[in-house]
Amino acid sequence: MTPIVRSALAVTAGLVCVILLSSAADVALSAAGVLPPLNEPGAYAAAHWLLAALYRSAIVVLGCWLTARLAPSRPMRHALILGAIGFVLALIGLVATTQVEGMGPLWYPAALVASALPCAWIGGALHDRVKAV
């Protein structure tokens, strides 16, 4: 397998990890009654949005760590590429929130935009730190 293919697979694996774990956490926390039903974003209080931002940030760190772990070379660069993809996706969510009524507070997608690259860096740095030990 060529390094470019391995790089693409590493980033894809991290992205799939983030998407699946975020979705699973949303469903599990909603089913447990910690969060309101997923189809009722208007029922979310500020604490619910804050909780979602926190666990999604932790999941992004994990996904970026996985990407760095699977990268054939330059693990931090791969983690930051995944972070840039997350930044763009979060930016799309921010724009959608401004265009569609009832999608929740503007600060939530803004927080996801602002945290995408720092979380990616943390994931890459954790990989480097664990690898050094």
Mean pLDDT of 39-47: 84
pLDDT given for residue 12 in this prediction: 98
pLDDT given for residue 39 in this prediction: 83
Lowest-confidence pick of 42-46, 74-78, 111-115, 117-121: 42-46
pLDDT given for residue 129 in this prediction: 86
pLDDT given for residue 101 in this prediction: 80
pLDDT given for residue 100 in this prediction: 84
**Summary mean pLDDT of the chain:** 94
Residue 117: partners with Cβ closer than 8 Å, 6 or more residues away? 80, 83, 84, 87
Distance CA 37, CA 33 (A): 8
Residue 106 DSSP label: T
pLDDT at residue 133 above 70?
A: no
